Amino acid sequence: MEYNFEELKYTVEPGVFIPWQEVDIEIYSFSDLGITVVINNEYTGLIYGNQVYGNYQEGERLKAYIKCIREDGRIDVSLQPKKGDHVFSTADKLMQHLEELGGKSPFNDKSSPEDIRNEFQVSKMVFKQAIGNLYKRGKIRITAEGIEIFK
- Give the CATH number, domain containing residue 13: 2.40.50.140
Domain of residue 64 covers 7-78
- Are residue 41 and residue 66 in the same domain, yes or no? yes
Q: What pLDDT score does 81 carry?
A: 81
- Are residue 14 and residue 73 in the same domain, yes or no? yes
Asked whether residue 125 is assigned to any structural domain, the reply reads yes
- Are residue 28 and residue 47 in the same domain, yes or no? yes
**Residue 119: partners with Cβ closer than 8 Å, 6 or more residues away:** 97, 107
- Are residue 87 and residue 25 in the same domain, yes or no? no
Q: What are the pLDDT tens digits along the chain (151 aa)?
A: 666 777 899 999 888 999 989 999 999 999 999 999 999 999 999 999 988 878 899 999 999 999 999 999 999 999 888 876 777 888 998 999 999 999 999 999 889 998 998 888 888 888 999 999 899 999 999 988 999 998 7
- Are residue 89 and residue 43 in the same domain, yes or no? no
- Are residue 46 and residue 92 in the same domain, yes or no? no
Count how many domains the chain has: 2
**Residue 9, CA atoms < 13 Å, CB-side half-sphere:** 13
Please tell me whether the overall predicted TM-score, pTM, comes out greater than 0.75 for this model. Answer: no
CB 23 within 8 A of CB 17: yes
